[in-house]
């Protein structure tokens, strides 16, 4: 089955700097890769996703890149703000549609 | 507005008790999921369901069962709770067949003493 590894586990950045989170996956058949943000005490919510026929996708200050050959994808947050502080999870849709493998999560702390 | 509701935010149970966690979604979604969230382990899939009366094992089904008698409701059952089942449980739903957004509930934090 699918296995997703996520790094780093914690990330501290100064406000205004960029943050990058990287994930690798094992199943070459995976073709959908969402990113979820979970604020403290809240439910995870989708912030951006990418499909295997696209190499990069951008939405305002966040972007996701996908390298299918190397089987890794990354989340990029530019001009970080305190409200970006949260746990971020990457995921990959594995051999059964709708069935996702999640990474272990990255705690991002943005300090003013 | 999309809504997934979990019946209990916090539960405290004793070892050996039977535990029911209820989840209801109002989006007419076909797919429903139960995840377990533990620090450093991310979200791990316990069971999921593509349709009423259907269920599929996820990655960590041992010690759990599920029930989906109606499309909008998906229940997680711990037949005999154990301390290693102390965790945060998240229900989610999604529409269609693959590649769809998961909508999560607020979570149920279960403590087994």
Q: What is the pLDDT of residues A72-100, one digit of tens each?
A: 999 999 999 999 999 999 999 976 777 89
CB atoms A32 and B41 under 8 Å: no
B23-32 pLDDT, tens per residue?
A: 999 999 999 9
Q: Mean pLDDT throughout A51-77?
A: 94
Give the pLDDT confidence score for residue B2 in this predicted structure.
67
Give the pLDDT confidence score for residue B100 in this predicted structure.
84
Give the pLDDT confidence score for residue B90 in this predicted structure.
98
Strands (E), B3-105: 4-6, 10-13, 19-25, 31-38, 42-49, 56-57, 65-70, 73-78, 87-94, 103-104
Residues of chain A contacting B99 with CB distance shorter than 8 Å? 31-32, 51, 93, 97
Residue A66: count other Cβ atoms within 10 Å of its Cβ: 22
- In the predicted model, what is the mean pLDDT of chain A? 94
């Amino acid at each position: 089955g699918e296995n997703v590894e996520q790094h780093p586990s914690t990330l501290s950045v100064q406000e205004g700097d960029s943050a990058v989170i990287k994930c690798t996956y094992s199943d070459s058949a995976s073709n959908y890769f969402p990113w979820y943000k979970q604020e403290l005490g809240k439910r995870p919510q989708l912030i951006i996703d990418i499909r295997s026929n696209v190499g990069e996708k951008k939405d305002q200050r966040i972007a996701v890149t996908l390298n299918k050959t190397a089987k890794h994808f990354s989340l990029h947050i530019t001009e970080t703000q305190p409200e970006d502080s949260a746990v971020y999870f990457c995921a990959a849709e594995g051999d059964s549609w709708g069935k996702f493998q999640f990474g272990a999560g990255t705690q991002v702390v943005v300090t003013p | 507005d999309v809504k997934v509701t979990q019946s209990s935010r916090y539960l405290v149970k004793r070892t050996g008790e039977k535990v029911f966690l209820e989840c209801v979604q109002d989006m007419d979604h076909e797919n429903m999921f139960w995840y377990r969230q533990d620090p450093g382990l991310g979200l791990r899939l316990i069971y999921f369901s593509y349709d009423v009366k259907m269920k599929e094992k996820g990655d960590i089904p041992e010690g759990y069962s599920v029930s989906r008698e109606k499309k909008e409701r998906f229940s997680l059952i711990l037949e005999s709770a154990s301390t290693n089942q102390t965790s945060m449980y998240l229900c989610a739903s999604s529409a269609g067949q693959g590649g769809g957004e998961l909508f999560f509930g607020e979570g149920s934090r279960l403590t087994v003493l």
